[in-house]
A and B are shown apart, each in its own frame.
Chain A
Amino acid sequence: MMNVLKKMGMSIRTYEGQKVLWGILFVSPWLLGFVFFFLIPLLTSLQYSFSNIEASSEGLQMTFVGFANFIEALTVNTNFNRQLIESMMDIVINVPLIIIFSLFIAVILNQKFFGRSLTRAIFFLPVILASGVILTLESTSLVQEINQQNAASGGLANALGAFELERIMLRAGVNEFIVSYLTGAVGRIYEIVSQSGVQILIFLAGIQTISPQIYEAAKMEGATGYEAFWKITLPMVSPLILVNMVYTIIDSFTRSPVTDLILSTGFDNFNFGLSSAMAWLYFVSIMLILLISTYFISKKVFYQE
């Protein structure tokens, strides 16, 4: 520790040393909050997952039980395995669709037209509607009902259309896996549209930070709008594809049946150890998905130099 301080004192005059000092100075307020409210609870929950926890008058009593909670979650609990796999599949299917859809809408919404900010607000609406306030009210104020009707009728019409489409494509000899992915996508339209509000906004902000001179130059060279999208917009927003992917995955937490299961195990059955173990298993499987997709995407990501 003393050594580090000494080294910092020595290097403080150099440009590199100043960079370090300023870096730490800028990060530290946020880091303090992070450690207290995220890191400590996170590590405590890891400790819980290896323990048997009982609440008594002297506070929480922990006894170390090794991997028993993890084994129970995977082999004894009847729901956990199935729901974990289902929500993993949901994430794998929804994420690419949401990202493509939101980029598409963001590009359209970035153009100048009358009532643009209102249109943007409309696409952001599901986020505001889902932010808890209105969710509780909706059930009494009938908004919920219209939402459900929307989903139901839309779902029905989509399902019928998808069924026709499926037959035609299968007959045309398209690969069965691709067909089921596409028809599944049609059935999910409502879900995807209502989940991509934040992603549209992030892409929109990304497109707005691209300097207009680049487009001007491309236009002068005779590039079409189509070319400008593939050669300018897409590479420039590619770092944000990563952001949106991570966001979409986090967002799916709130909808996932696994989260409900974790919560009910913890707070209804008071089995905090098992609930923490489930949470960590969920966490690890999501991390795997993310690591794999990050690996592929970060190869394509373009950074302006």
Chain B
Amino acid sequence: MTLIRKRKRIFRFQKKLNRSLPVSILLFMILALFGAFMAIPLIYAFNNAFKPLDELFIFPPKFFVRNPTFDNFFDLVAVMGDSWVPLSRYFANTFIITVIGTAGHVLLASMAAYPLAKYRFPGSRAIFSMVVLSLMFSPHVTAIPNYMVMSLLGWINTHASIIIPSMAFPLGLFLMKQFMEQLPDAMLEAAKMDGASEYRIFWSVVMPNVKPAWLTLLILQFPVLWGTNGGDFIYSEQLKPLNYALEQITLGGIARAGVGAAVALILMVVPITLFIISQSNVIQTMSSSGMKD
């Protein structure tokens, strides 16, 4: 696998005249070194999930699985079958929180970033400096005032208490604004002159051109919400997200090591898959957009 990759790389670089072969090889080596650093935990977790019980506790620990089984996953289903809230309910909760929260965050942050980046209106500077300031403030400290706001709004023990605040997260706005500032004004003016409304400009000009930016935002926000365990705001068992249920299972400690490994794999696979899908989409963006000055 790596050999094929290496060969292909070298082949490609040979066609490129502006970089010498030794430099390419050196760059690739560095990449491979750091990449290996990062990949080890993933490979280990993946192997662990398929290990039968006797292999999990072998000493010294083996890195790769020898007799792969699905036992750990069956055990997980069996364990979940005993709980009085079905697994699908937990899954639905996490799905609702993650999808609505992520989509809302990307949408609201982009919409707010567009005028802040491209138009000057009274208060725009003040709004943006507030955003930057709030970025620098540790979120843990506002825990108590936050709870009070929630209870004032009557959102305690609802999904809204997790979804709505995540939409207004300042990081996304900051990121989108920096990206949108790089769009040439000429492009927006051209759209305006052709009679596009602001709404139309936003959807058909701005958003397609900053696609890499909002895909990045998507990837950043998704794991945060996917990994939420309901925090301090959700008390009812039937409203708790998936992560909470899986945490409870792994509290069984050493006896649940196999199930724990399966859980870790499931929780990791979804964000990683999303990441790979969105990253392969990014490539198409730039080929379809072109600006001539």
Contact with A along B237-259 (1 / 0, CB 8 A): 00000010011001001101100
Q: Is A198 an interface residue (CB 8 A)?
A: yes
B108 contacts A30, C-beta separation under 8 Å: yes
A38 contacts B142, C-beta separation under 8 Å: yes
B174 contacts A243, C-beta separation under 8 Å: yes
Q: Is B182 an interface residue (CB 8 A)?
A: yes
B127 contacts A31, C-beta separation under 8 Å: yes
Q: Is B191 an interface residue (CB 8 A)?
A: no
Chain B residues, Cβ within 8 Å of A154? 37
Chain A residues, Cβ within 8 Å of B61? 142
B264 contacts A263, C-beta separation under 8 Å: no
Q: How far is the CA of A287 from the CA of B136 in the complex (A)?
A: 7
A213 contacts B290, C-beta separation under 8 Å: yes
Nearest-neighbour CB distance to chain A for B173, whole angstroms, equals 6
Asked if A36 meets B119 with Cβ closer than 8 Å, knowing A108-B27, A122-B42, the reply is no
Q: How far is the CA of A115 from the CA of B168 in the complex (A)?
A: 35
Q: Is B148 an interface residue (CB 8 A)?
A: yes
Nearest-neighbour CB distance to chain B for A260, whole angstroms, equals 9
Q: Is B116 an interface residue (CB 8 A)?
A: yes
Give the contact-size bracket for chain B.
35 or more
Q: How far is the CA of A137 from the CA of B212 in the complex (A)?
A: 31
Nearest-neighbour CB distance to chain B for A299, whole angstroms, equals 16
Q: Is A231 an interface residue (CB 8 A)?
A: no
Q: How far is the CA of A117 from the CA of B5 in the complex (A)?
A: 13
A259 contacts B138, C-beta separation under 8 Å: yes
Q: How far is the CA of A98 from the CA of B39 in the complex (A)?
A: 19
Q: Is B76 an interface residue (CB 8 A)?
A: no
Q: Is B52 an interface residue (CB 8 A)?
A: no
Asked if A38 meets B184 with Cβ closer than 8 Å, knowing A117-B276, A146-B40, the reply is no
Chain B residues, Cβ within 8 Å of A283? 136-138
B267 contacts A133, C-beta separation under 8 Å: yes
A286 contacts B136, C-beta separation under 8 Å: yes
Q: Is the interface of A mostly helix, strand, loop or mixed?
A: helix
B146 contacts A37, C-beta separation under 8 Å: yes
Q: How far is the CA of A29 from the CA of B42 in the complex (A)?
A: 39
Q: Is A257 an interface residue (CB 8 A)?
A: no
A133 contacts B243, C-beta separation under 8 Å: yes
Chain A residues, Cβ within 8 Å of B198? 18, 22, 26
Which residues in chain A, 36-83, are within 8 Å of chain B measured between CB atoms? 36-42, 44-45, 48
Contact with A along B186-201 (1 / 0, CB 8 A): 0000000000001000
Q: Is A188 an interface residue (CB 8 A)?
A: no
A205 contacts B212, C-beta separation under 8 Å: yes
B279 contacts A120, C-beta separation under 8 Å: yes
B121 contacts A23, C-beta separation under 8 Å: yes
Which residues in chain B, 22-77, are within 8 Å of chain A measured between CB atoms? 27, 30-31, 34-35, 37-42, 44-45, 48, 61
Chain B residues, Cβ within 8 Å of A219? 18
Question: Apart from A134-B227, A202-B216, A283-B138, what are 7 other A-B pairs with CB-CB below 8 Å?
Answer: A26-B111, A31-B112, A48-B145, A117-B275, A129-B41, A212-B286, A243-B178
B-side interface residues toward A, CB under 8 Å?
A: 4-5, 8-9, 12, 16, 18-19, 27, 30-31, 34-35, 37-42, 44-45, 48, 61, 108-109, 111-112, 114-116, 119, 121-122, 124, 127, 130-146, 148-149, 153, 164-165, 167-168, 170-171, 173-175, 178-179, 181-182, 184-185, 198, 202, 209-210, 212-213, 215-216, 219-220, 223-224, 226-229, 243, 246-247, 250, 253-254, 256-257, 260-261, 263-264, 267-268, 271-272, 275-276, 279-280, 282, 285-287, 289-292
Q: List 21 A-B contacts (CB under 8 A).
A: A27-B124, A33-B165, A33-B167, A36-B149, A37-B168, A40-B145, A45-B142, A113-B5, A113-B12, A117-B276, A121-B275, A123-B35, A128-B268, A128-B272, A141-B264, A146-B44, A205-B215, A205-B282, A224-B19, A250-B135, A303-B181
